[in-house]
Chain A
Amino acid sequence: MNFAEYVITGWVLTGVVLGGYWLWIEQRIRRAERVRDPE
């Protein structure tokens, strides 16, 4: 791997991890609010 590949891997990984984490949270929130609100 040359330098650029390490750099791209790092930035993409960071984006995927943080973005994925955020999506996971939002999805779980939506599900929890849906379960709660039909009351």
Chain B
Amino acid sequence: MSGTIHITINGEPRTVAAGATLLELLTSLELDPRAVVVEHNRAIVRRPGLSGVAVAEGDSIELVHFVGGG
């Protein structure tokens, strides 16, 4: 697998390797998969599924966690 694709992560355009899985994406961002929740094109992907989902051109990904709030 070669080449790159354009995706959006947390509203920011990003260029990643074609065929990268969500887990690989988290690893490249130095994020602990246990500490974030992943939404892929508006669908939540549970932790065990992260290595089985590859991102495609134009995908939108949200990575969220808990912050201080009232």
Q: Does A associate with B in a complex?
A: no
Residues of B within 8 A of A (CB): none
Residues of A within 8 A of B (CB): none
